[in-house]
Amino acid sequence: MKPFLQEVAEDLVTKFGDNLHHCAIVFNNKRPAVYLQKYLANIISKPFFSPSLYTVQEFFAAASPEKLADFYLQFFTLHKIYNELLAEEGFDPISSHKFFPLAKIILSDFNQIDIDLVDAGKLYSDLEDISLINQEFDYLSPEQYEFLSQFWTSYSEGKHKKQQELFIRMWRRMPKLYHKFHATLKAQKYINNGAVYRDLAEGQISEMTFLRGFDKGKIVFVGFNALSRAEAKIFSRLQESGQGLFYFDTDPYYLDDPLQEAGLFLRKNIHQLGLMNVFANQQSLMATPHHVDVYKVQGQSAQAKILNNILADQYEERYDLGSTVVVLADESLLIPTLQTIPTSRNGQEIDLNVTMGFALATSSIFGLIDLWLSTQLELLQKTTVSYQNVEAFLTHPLSGLSHKMRDKIQTALLNENQLEIDHPRLLRQSGLFEVFFKKIENSEQVVSTLINVLTVVLTRLSTAQILKKIDAELFVKTIQELNRLHDTFGKHVGSEETSFVIYLVQRALKAIAVPLSGDPLNGIQVMGLLETRNLNFDNVVILGFNEGIIPKSSIGNSFIPDSLRRVYGLPVLENLDAISSYMVYRLIQRAKNISLVYNNLTDESTSGEVSRILKQLTYESGFKFDYHELNMTVKTEVAREVKIEKTGSKFVQDTLALYLEGKRKFSPSAMTQYISNPIDFFFNYIAGIKEPKEVSAVVEANEIGSILHQVMEYFYVDLKGSEISAEAIQLRRKRVPALIQRAFAAVMFKSPDKVIEYKGMQKVILAIVDAYVDIILTQDEAQTPFQIISLEQKVEAELSFTLHGKPATVKLLGFIDRVDLKDGVTKIIDYKTGSDKLTFKDVPELFNTNGKNINKALVQTLLYTYAYEQFSGKTCVEPNLYIVKTMTQDGVWFKTGRQNLNGEFLEEIKPEFLKELRNKLTELFESAYFEVSEVEDNYKYSIYKTLFGK
C-alpha cells in the first residue's frame, strides 16, 4: 500500500508545484522529514527548493522572541524564587538537593498547565477552601463537580497531619511561584516550552513576523493526533486565517466509531475543533485483509532472540528490506536486538539503521565519568580513595595503562592489603593518575575539571589512533553537553554543595545518546514506537507488546490529582491508552506482514500479559491471527565423571617429575589435599590454578590463624631456649594486646609497625585473637616448666617409596609452629583455629580418599613429626594439637577410642603411618587419573568444585 507520506508529497506537489518552497511543513517528530524529502524528490524528479521542515517544538520556538531555557536554568530560577517565598512566609530556605525532586514535578506541572492553557491561579487555589471552590466553580458541569467533590472528600477526612499541612502551604504558594517564575525567566530573555505554547495561543498570530514568512504558501501540519489546548487553538486560528493545512493519517475504522479509543483525538480535531483533513472520505485500510503473527516468549531478552525466525522470510529477494521495521515498544531491548538481528543475506551485508541512538550510559566513557564522580565524592569526605575505585581505574580500558604497569601497581596494593589508598600517593604517579585523581576544591570546578579529564583521555586515544567512531561521537557530544552545563552552572552553583552539583552532572550525562550509523531510507529500521509516527512499512515487527508498555500504566509524577486533572481537561491515564492504540493502528493499517512479540514471563518489569490492544484487535478487527509460542527448553546435563589423565599428558608427567627430581617439595597441606580429593591437588599443584587474591575488609578464617601464629611467635621469641615458668607467662600477658595489633598489621598489611585505626569487624577480630591467645597461654601455664626449642621451624626431609617396583624419593618441606621440650619429651605444637578433631579411627582410614574418616590435622602433624625426627636426629617426638576452640575440654593429644596417641602407642603407629603414606605416594605417581573423591564432605569447601562438575 502507498505510504501516508507519499500521499502527502503527491498532494503537496499537486497543490503548490514550484511554489512549494514558500510552505512550512510541521511534523510531531524529526524522522518523517527525511522520508517526505525522498518522496518529493521522486515525484518532482529535478532540482527544487525544499519547503521549510520543522518539528512542532522547533516551529513554535522559532516564532518566539525569547530563547528556550534548559531544565537546569529553570531549576535554579525556580529554587531561588521558592526560597524567597519561604522567607516571606517566615520559613527557613530549602536546600537544592531536597528541592530537586519537587522541582522536577513542579516544572512538569507548570509546563502542562501552560500547554493546556489552564488558569494556574484558579487551579492552585482549589485546595484552600471548599466554600471558595463552591463559589468559583458554579460553572462546572455536574460530572466535573462530582470529580472535584470526590477529591475533597478523600482529602478532607479527619485532621490534617503535618505532611498534609505542609502540602497545603506549598500548594497555596504555587500561584505566586508560577507567575514569578515566568516573569523572572522573561526578564532574562528566556522562556520555557509551555510558555511558548501559551504565548502563541493567546497572542495575535497575524502579528508574528516569523509566520509572515510563509504568507505565499501554507503552514502544513502533517500526521498530528493528540493536541494540547494551545496547539488546538493555534491550529484553529491558522485555519481561520487561511494559512493552515492539515493532513491527518486516519481510517474510518476507528475515526467513525465513537467506541474506538484510537480515534479519540482525531474525532476531537476534526469534528469538535473543525480542523479540515485534506484526506477526508478515504476508504478504510483496516478493512482490508491483514495477517498477524503473535509470538509468546519466555523472558525479556528472548523477544529479541526470535528476530532471526521472524525476518527469515523477508530476506528473500522479493522483499525490499527498506520496508522492514523492528519497533521496540520496550526500549530496554535495544542491546539484545543489536546482538541478535541478522545482518547479512545471501552473503551480502544488510544495512541496519537504529534511530534510537546509543546511550552514553551504556558506554565505557560513562563508566570512566561515573568513576571520576564517585572518586570526587570520596575525596570530599576523606583524604584517601577506596581500593575498589583505584582498582576500577587501573582496569578501565580508557585508563591507558600498560599490562605491565597495571599488574605492578595491583600486585603492590594486593600485597599491602590496603583498603584505602592515600590521595597524595596516587597523585605522585603522574600522567593520567594526576589528572584523574586531582581533587576539586569547590562546586564550580566540577564541570571544568571533568572536561579536562575527558580531553586528556580523548587526546591520548586520538594520538594512539585507537579511537572508535562511536566513542569519538560520544566524547564530542559529552564535552559539548559539559560546556553547556558550564555556562548554565557558572551563575548558579557557587553556593551549592559539591555533591549536589556532581549529582546534576551525572543526571545530565545519562540522557546523552548518539545516533548509530545507518541509512534511514534503506535496510532494516530499528526504532521506538513514538518514532514511527507518520511512517509506514510493509513489514512490521513490534517487540515488547505487553500490557503496561503498550499502553503505559503511569502518566508520570504530578502534584495535580486525577480529579482536578479531569476538571481542567489535563491529560489523564486514558489519554495514554488512546495515543498508544492510535500509533499501533496507524502503523499496521498499511502493513503487509505484522509480527507482535510479547514476554509471557512475569517479573519486576512486566506483568506477563499481552497488550489489551491485541485482545481488542482479535475480538473486532477480522484480521487473521496465527499464534506461536517460543518455549525455552531447560536441559539438564547428565552428571559425568570428571577425571584428569596422567599417563597421556606430557605436561602432567613433566610436572610430577619435578617432585621426583627434588625440584619441588611436598608440603603437609599438599599431601592432605591429595588424600582428601586428588583432583584438587591437580588444579592446585599441577595446573597451578590459584584463588585470586583480593583486597577486602573481611578477615578470612585462615588469616585469623596466621595472626594467632604471629602473636605466639612474638610472645615467645625472647624466651626461646630458656626454661619457661608460669610467672614468666603471666608477666608477659600484659604485652598481648600490643602484640596482636602488631601481628594484625604484619599479616594484613605486610607492615608490623603500621599504625591502624581499628573499626567495626577489625575490633571483633582483635578480640577473637585475644581470646584464642588466652586459651593457649592458659594451657601453657598448666604445662610449665617447659622449654621452647624453636619457633616457626623450617624442616626438610626425604621420604622413600616404591615406584613401578623401583625405589624413588620425594622431599618434604614444612614449617612447624613450635617445638617444646617437656620432661625429656620433644613435642611438636601445631595451632589450629578451625574445626579440626583430635579423634581418628585407624591409620588406613587416614589415607582413604573415599572414606569419611580422614583427619587432615593428624596427617599433617605426623608428617611434621617424621620430618623433624629426620631433620634433628631425635626420636620419640610427640605431636600435640592446640585446637583453640576445644582444647580446654579435649586436651591436646590425638586419640583413637580411649587411647591417646603418645608414648609406646605413638611409636607403634609411626611405622604404620609411614607405610600408608608411601602407598599413597605410589598411587599419586602410578595411577592413571586424578579423580574426585566419592565423599562430598572431602571437597565441601573446595574452590575448584565448578571445574570438576560439582
Using pLDDT thresholds of 50, 70 and 90, give the confidence band for residue 274: very high
Beta bridge mates, 527: 327
Instruction: Read off the pLDDT of each residue in 249-278 and give the average, rounded to a whole number.
Output: 94
pLDDT in tens, 152-167: 555 444 444 565 566 6
Distance CA 561, CA 554 (A): 13
Distance CA 307, CA 380 (A): 49
pLDDT at 463 exceeding the cut of 80: yes
Lowest mean pLDDT among 232-246, 482-496, 837-851: 482-496
Distance CA 680, CA 942 (A): 7
> Greater confidence, 131 or 871?
871
The confidence score (pLDDT) of residue 320 equals: 61
Distance CA 108, CA 101 (A): 11
The confidence score (pLDDT) of residue 522 equals: 78
Compute CA distances 394 → 56, 95, 432, whole Å: 48, 36, 11
Pick the closest to residue 585 from 220, 232, 283, 290 (CA basis).
Answer: 290
The confidence score (pLDDT) of residue 124 equals: 81
The confidence score (pLDDT) of residue 128 equals: 53
Element (H, E) at 575: helix 573-588
pLDDT in tens, 314-371: 666 455 656 889 999 988 888 888 888 877 777 777 778 887 778 888 889 999 999 9
Compute CA distances 558 → 179, 511, 720, whole Å: 19, 21, 78
Phi, psi dihedrals of residue 541, rounded to the nearest 5°: -120, 120
Using pLDDT thresholds of 50, 70 and 90, give the confidence band for residue 457: very high
Packing angle, helices 162-187 and 193-202, rounded to 10: 70
Distance CA 648, CA 663 (A): 22
Distance CA 751, CA 481 (A): 47
The confidence score (pLDDT) of residue 215 equals: 87
Instruction: Read off the pLDDT of each residue in 187-197 and give the average, rounded to a whole number.
Output: 93
Residue type present at position 94: I
pLDDT at 138 exceeding the cut of 60: no
> Greater confidence, 815 or 145?
815
Average pLDDT, the chain: 88
pLDDT at 746 exceeding the cut of 80: yes
When computed from its CA atoms, the radius of gyration of the chain, rounded to whole angstroms, is 40
pLDDT at 135 exceeding the cut of 70: no
- Under 8 Å CB-to-CB from 566, ≥6 apart: which residues? 144, 147, 572
> Greater confidence, 607 or 503?
503
The confidence score (pLDDT) of residue 158 equals: 43
Residue type present at position 754: K
The confidence score (pLDDT) of residue 146 equals: 65
Instruction: Read off the pLDDT of each residue in 786-798 and give the average, rounded to a whole number.
Output: 94
> Greater confidence, 127 or 479?
479
The confidence score (pLDDT) of residue 150 equals: 59
- C-alpha 79, offset from chain centre: 31
Contact between 125 and 175 (Cβ < 8 Å): yes
Pick the closest to residue 339 from 354, 320, 361 (CA basis).
Answer: 354
Distance CA 861, CA 131 (A): 92
pLDDT in tens, 161-191: 565 566 667 778 889 999 999 999 999 999 9
The confidence score (pLDDT) of residue 143 equals: 67
Residue 195, SS3 per DSSP: helix
Q: What is the 3-state secondary structure (H, E, C) of 492-529?
A: CCCCCCHHHHHHHHHHHHHCCEECCCCCCCCCEEEEEC
Q: Which three cell numbers stand for residue 131?
A: 466554600
- Under 8 Å CB-to-CB from 692, ≥6 apart: which residues? none
The confidence score (pLDDT) of residue 319 equals: 54
The rounded percent of the chain whose pLDDT value lies above 90 is 59
pLDDT at 605 exceeding the cut of 80: no
- DSSP state for residue 609 in the 8-state scheme: P
Burial of 385 (0-12, 13-18, 19+ CB in 10 A): buried
The confidence score (pLDDT) of residue 12 equals: 95
Distance CA 591, CA 537 (A): 6
Place of cell 576544591: 441
DSSP string, 811-847: EEEEEEEEEEEETTEEEEEEEE-S---SB-S-HHHHT
Give the other-Cβ count within 10 Å of 157's Cβ.
7
Residue 307, SS3 per DSSP: helix
Pick the closest to residue 214 from 6, 26, 384, 379 (CA basis).
Answer: 26
Residue 489, SS3 per DSSP: helix
pLDDT in tens, 670-728: 999 999 999 999 999 999 998 887 776 667 777 899 999 999 999 999 999 899 999 99
Compute CA distances 572 → 112, 127, 264, 329, 474, whole Å: 12, 20, 13, 20, 37
Contact between 552 and 212 (Cβ < 8 Å): no
Distance CA 653, CA 927 (A): 12
The confidence score (pLDDT) of residue 151 equals: 56
Cis status, amide bond into 785, omega within 30 of 0 = yes
pLDDT at 518 exceeding the cut of 70: no
pLDDT at 615 exceeding the cut of 70: yes
The confidence score (pLDDT) of residue 126 equals: 66
Cis status, amide bond into 551, omega within 30 of 0 = yes
pLDDT in tens, 862-899: 999 999 999 999 999 999 999 999 998 889 999 998 89
The confidence score (pLDDT) of residue 417 equals: 78
Angle (CA) 104 106 109, round 5°: 110
pLDDT at 132 exceeding the cut of 50: no
Distance CA 372, CA 398 (A): 12
Contact between 781 and 716 (Cβ < 8 Å): no
The confidence score (pLDDT) of residue 157 equals: 43
Distance CA 706, CA 830 (A): 12
